[in-house]
Amino acid sequence: MEPQINLICFLLIGFSNYFGFFLMLSAAKSMMKGIAATSTVLFCDILPKLLVKLIFPFIQDKIKDLAYVLMIVSLSTVGYILASFSFDNVFLGLSGVVLTSTATGIGDVFVYGYTTRFSTKAIGHYLSGTGLASLGSSLLYAFLVDVLNCNPKYVIYSFLALPFLLLECFLITSEYHSPGQQAESKVLSPTGYEILNEQSTTAQPYTEAHGERGCLDTTSATKEKFKALGKSSYMYASIFLATTGQYLINQSVNPVIEFPDSSMRGKYFTFSQVACNLGAFMGKTSSSFFKIPRIIMFIPVSIDLLSVVLYSFQAVDYFIKEFWLLLFCGVVYGFCAGMTMSHSFYWVSVEQKPATKKFALSGATLSSSFAVFVASILGFFYEDFLVDNKKW
């Protein structure tokens, strides 16, 4: 049984690591002030994170845990400070977004490796924390800026202490009181459905491609790592498609949508972030209550992609007149994206061998980051296309 203090800490680590990342997306329209497409912020928010995830999985075992955490805290702190100046100087603001993104990427690589020392519940709580960060950041920003009319500059600056929460939670977690990473082996039931058995990996010797002392030689280890990527390719594809759809709507389609006849005119973009992130939080938390069979993972992915079509028609034709109805649709596609993310990570975690689990999870988080990168590139063109074809 995983100690509750560890699970709470992983929840808060996910929250503090991703809060700045999502806060920048909620503030994107205000930061750009019409100077450039809101996808510019998304691009600066994802490219450093993507580069980190391409490089760090190959060197993650060479860096001490505390060094990782101090890098994350330092980069995040400076990032918040610079981002708060975006309303005076766009270049400084985007520099802050880049640093915050870098910190989040390093945090992801570190935490996914770190959770392999704990039970499988640790990664689930970390993902729930990232969902809570997406919801909390957008909700707080919408309330403080659009409801209380606070200065966005000071709103961003007020969250400066959050990176230190990550440091404190890391120091509190203890792997010595954890039952260890659990491997869940798949057993086929008579009805043809997959059921899961939990088995401790600590008692199972792993000998394939190992030498006499049980250590992987370098060549075999590298080959086995890349075989692991192929084994989880279906999950990677699910993460990629669902995340691309989610961020394309959030940062490229939603900025074009407006409700000119509503009392909420000018506030849709901020509240759409809240709606999507509420759904994403519920979706990411869902893996703690039930598991989607991997064979039907395409269903929430398909809903996400169909939502791109729906929202694109809304941006062009303005056929849905109800503000709150469209926000509800935002909760739905956010839920599907979050559920796909959470359950895909779960399946990657349980279907991999102990020797390749950490690398395979890095591949999953890389798939997510690459999807956001693709959405940001598409957004530069797609947002302009929607604006040029508006019929209202």
- Write out pLDDT tens, residues 52-94: 888 877 777 788 889 989 999 999 999 999 998 887 888 888 9
Listed by start position, the domains of the chain span 4-177+226-388, 182-213
Please report the beta strands in the chain, taking only residues with DSSP state E, as ranges in sequence order: 182-188, 194-200
How does the average pLDDT of the chain come out, rounded? 83
> Alpha carbon of 283 to those of 128, 210, 273, 276, 371: distances in Å?
9, 39, 15, 10, 18
pLDDT at site 128: 85
Out of 18-27, 269-278, 325-334, 346-355, least confident range: 346-355
- Model pLDDT, residue 35: 73
Give φ, ψ of 210 to 5 degrees. -100, 155
pLDDT digits (tens, 9 = 90+) for 217-229: 555 567 777 777 8
Question: When comparing pLDDT for 87 and 166, which is higher?
Answer: 166
CA–CA distance from 274 to each of 27, 125, 136 (Å)? 12, 21, 8
Top-ranked range on mean pLDDT: pick from 174-183, 296-305, 364-373 = 296-305
pLDDT tens sequence across 207-217 = 333 443 344 45
Among 122-136, 177-191, 196-210, 266-280, the range scoring the smallest mean pLDDT is 196-210
User: Rounded mean pLDDT of 243-270?
Assistant: 88
pLDDT given for residue 28 in this prediction:
84
Q: Supply the pLDDT for residue 180.
A: 61
Label residue 201 by pLDDT band (50, 70, 90).
very low
Query: Is the per-residue pLDDT at 374 higher than 50?
Result: yes
User: At 270, phi and psi to the nearest 5?
Assistant: -65, -45
The pLDDT of 351-371, averaged and rounded, is 83
283's tokens: 């979706």
Helix intervals (H) in 33-120? 39-55, 65-83, 90-114
Q: Which fold has domain 4-177+226-388?
A: Growth Hormone; Chain: A; (1.20.1250)
* pLDDT digits 0-9 by tens, 137-156: 989 998 998 888 888 888 99
What sign does the dihedral 150-153-156-157 (CA atoms) show? negative
pLDDT computed for residue 99 by the predictor: 96
Query: Residue 356 in contact with residue 299, Cβ under 8 Å?
Result: no
Question: How far from chain centre, in Å, is Cα 228?
Answer: 22
310 contact partners, CB below 8 Å, separation of at least 6 = 329
pLDDT of residue 119 exceeding 60? yes
In this predicted structure, what is the pLDDT of residue 183? 42
Tell me the C-alpha distance between 1 and 119, whole Å: 8
| pLDDT above 60 for 252 | yes
137 CB-contact burial (10 Å; exposed 0-12 / middle 13-18 / buried 19+): buried
Residue 312, CA distances (Å) to 90, 379, 382 in order: 28, 12, 10
pLDDT > 90? residue 95: yes
Query: What is the DSSP secondary structure assignment for residue 17, as one 8-state letter?
Result: H
